[in-house]
């Protein structure tokens, strides 16, 4: 049976460290603050934003949720981003994705002051990550690395396979694993013989968005399996991209959904925000 990687417990540990850093900054008269822009009424986004605000409170950090109506124009969104960029009392700014379809996501993200870009999505930060000079790492992949390290999984020289190549998870995940000296393969919807590739993975990261897609026969016995997927099933429950019940019998380590990568994403957001506040204080 695989060792269960407890994302909630590890995230609590990370947040405790963030709370200490926040307390130290407050002694210098700086109150770390995160602003979240939420456009529209997407129910999942509402939950994520609420969880982020709750985490800020738990860390002793200020949070501002800026709610904008569904019909917000690109100009209005950009004006709001610029207003927050100019506000010295706010250290981190994130735009909750996805934005309504009529808005240009890439253009909005590139308006965020890269020093306040605690999601790590600005092209400046993406470029810094590519060249190994990043000061802010995208939260979900950074959280996955932290889960692996804190669980004692050997990264150096490991064969790592990432399923998914999105800009927010798959690609940065591959770069971070490479930085940790893994040999990395990235798979996607056009990959041939996916199961044969994943069967060679000492570390398998699934970021696909398809419930229970990764089956036991795709997993190398003893592998560390990190499940990024969050999929809502018809009965309302959540499932990852990995068929957990099958996979835990084969894997060496596995993250559950919920309670694995999700809490770590938020913990890393807190870490990025306090680091941004520290950097801006200098």
Q: Cis link prior to 199 (omega < 30° from 0)? A: no
| CA 15 – CA 269 distance, rounded (Å) | 10
Q: Judged by CB under 6 A, does residue 187 bind ligand NDP?
A: yes
Q: Smallest distance from the beta carbon of 76 to ligand NDP, in angstroms?
A: 26
Nearer to ligand NDP, 64 or 165 (CB): 165
Binding to ligand NDP, residues 57-76 (CB under 6 A): none
**Binding ligand NDP by CB under 6 A: which of 73, 189, 200, 237?**
189
Q: Judged by CB under 6 A, does residue 256 bind ligand NDP?
A: no
Closest CA to 266 of 6, 32, 5, 7: 7
Cα angle vertex 177, ends 179, 96, to 5°?
105
| Tokens of residue 67, six digits | 């709610």
| CA 131 – CA 187 distance, rounded (Å) | 22
CA distances from 254 to 217, 233, 259 (A): 15, 20, 11
Q: Where are the beta strands (DSSP E) in 26-129?
A: 33-39, 62-68, 92-95
115 as an active site residue: the answer is no
**Binding ligand NDP by CB under 6 A: which of 45, 51, 183, 231?**
231
57 as an active site residue: the answer is no
Q: Smallest distance from the beta carbon of 260 to ligand NDP, in angstroms?
A: 7
**Binding ligand NDP by CB under 6 A: which of 168, 179, 215, 278?**
168
Give the containing element (helix H, strand E) for 204.
strand 203-206
Q: Judged by CB under 6 A, does residue 118 bind ligand NDP?
A: no
52 as an active site residue: the answer is yes
Q: Smallest distance from the beta carbon of 255 to ligand NDP, in angstroms?
A: 9
Residues noted as catalytic: 52, 96, 119
Site residues, ligand NDP (CB under 6 A): 140, 163-166, 168-170, 187-191, 194, 207-210, 228-231, 261-262, 265
């Amino acid at each position: 049976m695989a060792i269960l990687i407890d994302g909630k417990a590890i995230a609590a540990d990370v947040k405790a460290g963030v709370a200490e850093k926040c307390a130290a900054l407050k002694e210098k008269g700086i109150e770390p603050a995160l602003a979240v822009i939420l456009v529209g009424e997407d129910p999942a986004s509402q939950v994520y934003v609420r969880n982020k605000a709750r985490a800020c409170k738990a860390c002793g950090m200020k949070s501002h949720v800026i709610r904008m109506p569904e019909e917000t124009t690109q100009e209005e969104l950009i004006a709001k981003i610029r207003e927050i960029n100019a506000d010295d009392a706010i250290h981190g700014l994130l735009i909750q994705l996805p934005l309504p379809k009529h808005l240009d996501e890439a253009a909005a993200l590139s308006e965020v002051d890269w020093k306040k870009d605690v999601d790590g999505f600005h092209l400046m930060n993406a470029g810094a990550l590519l060249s190994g000079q990043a000061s802010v790492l995208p939260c979900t992949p950074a959280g996955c690395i932290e889960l692996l390290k804190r669980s004692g999984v050997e990264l150096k020289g490991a064969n790592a396979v990432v399923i998914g190549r999105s800009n927010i998870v798959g690609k940065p995940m591959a770069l971070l694993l490479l930085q940790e000296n893994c040999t990395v393969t990235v798979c996607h919807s056009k990959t041939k013989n996916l199961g044969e590739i994943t069967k060679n993975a000492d570390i398998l990261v699934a970021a696909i968005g398809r419930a229970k897609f990764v089956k036991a026969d795709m997993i190398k016995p003893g592998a560390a399996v990190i499940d990024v997927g969050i999929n809502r099933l018809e009965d309302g429950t959540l499932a990852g991209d990995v068929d957990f019940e099958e996979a835990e019998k084969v894997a060496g380590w596995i993250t559950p959904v919920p309670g694995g990568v999700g809490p770590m994403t938020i913990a890393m957001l807190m870490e990025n925000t306090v680091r941004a506040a520290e950097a801006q204080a200098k």
